[in-house]
Amino acid sequence: MLLRPDPEPFRVSDRFRLTLESTILELEAGAAHDERILAQLRNEDHRRRQRLLIGAQLERAFRLRELLARTIRQPQSNAPTPQRS
């Protein structure tokens, strides 16, 4: 995947940013948990698959952190919401 040299930041809502941050933390926590379990696994194939899982979780968290670094908060609109009849 080719990225532009200096991409413009994405404007995101606070809710989306919080969801992104939460997902990153869950992935990193899951990887840490899976690393602790790795020592308990005896079967080499299970250990290999566990390492692949950990790597995938950390890779996804890293990519989401890169995306998060390219975001800026979208200003909240102070306009009143339309009333429904």
Tell me the pTM.
Answer: 0.75
pLDDT at 5: 61
Q: Tell me if residue 12 falls in helix, strand or coil.
A: strand
- Per-residue confidence (pLDDT) for residue 77, from 0 to 100: 65
CA-to-CA distance for 9 and 67, rounded, in angstroms?
9
Please state the domain extents for the chain: 34-74
Indicate the length of the chain as a whole number. 85
- The pLDDT tens digits along the chain (85 residues) read 555 566 788 788 999 999 999 999 999 999 999 999 999 999 999 999 999 999 999 999 999 999 999 988 877 766 555 666 5
- 67 contact partners, CB below 8 Å, separation of at least 6: 10, 20
Alpha helices (H) in the chain, listed in sequence order = 14-38, 44-69
pLDDT digits (tens, 9 = 90+) for 7-25: 788 788 999 999 999 999 9
